[in-house]
Amino acid sequence: MKIRTKEFALRIIRLYSALPKSTEAQVIGKQLLRSGTSVGAHYREVTRARSDAEFISEIEGGVQALEESCYWMELLAEAGIAPESKLAELMDEASQLTAVLITRSKKAKEKKDGRP
């Protein structure tokens, strides 16, 4: 996951670099750049969590950043700024990462609550 979230961030950076220089593209792109690159940072913090609560908080922060990234990519596509075909694989990866992090969060909550 450490490598996968870092690769996601690198792909977001490359996408941002390829966006048109219009104001709209740059404003949305910068939002995507922030959220997309923060996923890996949240995951790195997860690996150093000192408690179950901190672990869950960081995992959920990563999920939030992924959801936000999907929103910005949807806007890029629906506004006609970037072709949906260019965004499809990246959006799929965001969905897969979201599923993994949600599963880890649920398991951590169950453990914290003493459920099997």
User: For residue 65, how far is the Cα from the chain centroid?
Assistant: 5
Report the domain count for the chain. Answer: 1
Average pLDDT over residues 27-51: 95
Range of the domain at 78: 2-112
**48: exposed, middle or buried (C-beta count within 10 Å: 0-12, 13-18, 19+)?**
exposed
Confidence category of residue 115, pLDDT binned at 50, 70, 90: low
Structure tokens at 87: 């965004």
The pLDDT of residue 112 is 74
How far apart CA 98 and CA 58 sit, in angstroms, is: 13
The pLDDT tens digits for 65-85 are: 999 999 999 999 999 999 999
- Cβ-based burial of 28 (10 A; exposed 0-12, middle 13-18, buried ≥19): buried
CATH code, 21: 1.20.1440.60
